Structure formats: C-alpha cells, structure tokens
Amino acid sequence: MASALINVPKKARRGEIIEIKTLMSHIMETGYRHTAEGEVIPRDIITSFSCRYNGVEIFRADLFPAFSANPFITFFTIAQESGKFDFEWTGDKGFSDTASASIIVE
Amino acid sequence: MKHESTRRQFLGLAGSAAALGAVPLVTLRPAAATPASMTSAIRAVVGEATVRTGKVKLDVPPLVENGNTVPMTVTVSNPMTPADHVVSIHVFNEKNPQPNMGNFYLGPHAGRAQISSRIRLADSQKIVAIAKLSDGSFWSATTEVIVTLAACTDEVI
C-alpha cells in the first residue's frame, strides 16, 4: 500500500524489544473547521488502528480529531517468532486500509 | 460611481467578516473542552479509582510553534510482565474542542510501555497522560504547553 509507511526491523534476536513505526496518509479532518461560507467541514478521521503479530493483536489505538494529519504512531513489542505484522486502519466514511511487514527472528 | 462601488465593497466585506466572526463563536463554544469536561472525560475512563501522580512521563515540547503537529511521547516506567504490566495509556487535554486525544492499548508482549505520536493543540494548555496498570491502579503525568500557532479551530478555508 502506497499510502502507509511501516518501519519494522527486518531481523531481530528472540526476546529483543523492537520499535514499530507506522504512518498512514490521511487528511484527519477534525469536523471543527469551516469554509469561507461558514459551513462546517464534516469530520473525516481515522478512528481506530490495530496491529496483529502472527494473528494476535499486540497493539490498538483509538484516534480522535486531536491526531495530526497523516497519523504517526510508534510502539514497541517483543520479537517472539518469525512472521508477519498486520496493520489495519479504519475510520469515517468507510475508510479502511491495511499494510503488513515481515520479520525474521533468530 | 467609483465611490459607490467602494462603499458597496466595504459593506460586503464588513458583512462577511461579521458572519465569519459570528459563526465560530456560536458553533464552537459549546463544543470546546474545558477543565471540567476534561475531568469528566478522565472520570469516564478511570471511574471511581484515584489517579496517582508518577510512573508516567509525558514528553511534549514546552513551547510549540505550530499546533498542527506536536510530537508527543508517553513512557510508563513499569515492568511489562504478564503479572504486572501497563494495560492502556490515555491522553487528555483541556482546551481542544474535545477533551480526548487518544487511547492506546498495550499488553505484556509490548516489552516497553512507550508510545509516540503527533497531536494537534488548539491553544496553550495542560495535557494529561494517564496509564492503567494490570492491578487496576491509574498513574498520571501533566504537562503545560505554550502554543503560538493554534490548530484546527480558527482556520477558515
């Protein structure tokens, strides 16, 4: 997916704490801004983000309009097994996007 | 003729300026978070539990030039074991339109209780980060931030 940027180490030692960085391109319209005519611009944000590691959810976040455009979230996890990270973003107006990254644990 | 058109332009401009000024006042006032609404938003998360100060470290620059993207890091100094770990981290503010900023759910598999993100700040204000531990206790940290260019509410596009 071109709209998501994921940074996961390619290799890690078993038991190592690794940092995962994610960025999803999205306008994150707050719903509190107005056009010059005074009309409210409807809210359009990502409301939920989750990360699964080999199918098990390891991180989840609820997002609010206070998140900047192109929400950037980093978190940590312990490298347990080689496998795949699956990332999912969902939001207003039926927004849904996914991304994945693989890791080799030695 | 020229005089009349400038007068008309002036009146038109004054009218639209008044409309612009009035609309945000009417529609934004009730939505704006206040220290009281932050307290109730915090209550909604922690319930009746007491929130103690400590363990949590909230890193936000003390002086922010642009409130549209403010880097934020929350670190909780607590072991991450199945028996004793951080369950979730919640961030609140007192002057954005909404008191909630974000909720982050972790677990013992996180290894380190630390999250980073970028947030919007509508005004110079107080930010509170609260961590929930697996034993049900809540810990918090508070930071004051000065914002020179505010985010979201006052822009008209």
Min distance A67 CA to chain B CA atoms (Å): 4
The pLDDT tens digits of the residues spanning B33-77 come to 678 889 899 999 999 889 999 999 999 999 998 999 999 999 999
Residues B142, B157: Cα–Cα separation, whole Å: 33
Strand A72-78 with B114-119, pairing? antiparallel
Residues B11, B15: Cα–Cα separation, whole Å: 6
Residues B42, B24 share a domain: no
Residues B38, B77 share a domain: yes
The closest alpha carbon to B89, from B71, B110, B68, B70, belongs to B110
- pTM of the predicted structure, to 2 decimals: 0.82
Q: Give the chain A residue nearest B89 (alpha carbons).
A: A61
H/E stretch holding B44: helix B35-46
Residues B89, B5: Cα–Cα separation, whole Å: 59
Domain tally, chain A: 1
Count CA within 13 A, CB hemisphere, residue B123.
14
Confidence of residue B153 (pLDDT cuts 50, 70, 90): low
CATH of the domain at A42: 2.60.40.10
Name which of A30, A38, A74 is nearest B115 (Cβ-Cβ): A74
Residue B21: pLDDT over 60:
no
Residue B155 falls inside a structural domain: no
Domain around B6:
1-31
Residue B15 falls inside a structural domain: yes
Q: Give the chain A residue nearest B32 (alpha carbons).
A: A32
Min distance A68 CA to chain B CA atoms (Å): 5
Residues B145, B104 share a domain: yes
The pLDDT tens digits of the residues spanning A18-30 come to 999 999 999 999 9
The pLDDT tens digits of the residues spanning B72-110 come to 999 999 999 999 999 999 999 998 889 999 999 998 989
Residues B39, B20 share a domain: no
Domain around A45:
4-105
Chain B residues lying within 8 Å of A68, measured CB to CB? 68-70, 117-120
- Specify whether the CB–CB gap between B73 and B114 falls below 8 A: yes
How many residues comprise chain B? Answer: 157
At residue A38, the pLDDT reads 84
Domain tally, chain B: 2
Q: Give the chain B residue nearest A22 (alpha carbons).
A: B117
Size of interface A-B (CB pairs under 8 A): 117
As for the ipTM of the complex, it is 0.92
Residues B127, B69 share a domain: yes
What amino acid occupies position B112?
R
CB contact under 8 A, B98 and A80: no
Residues B104, B55 share a domain: yes
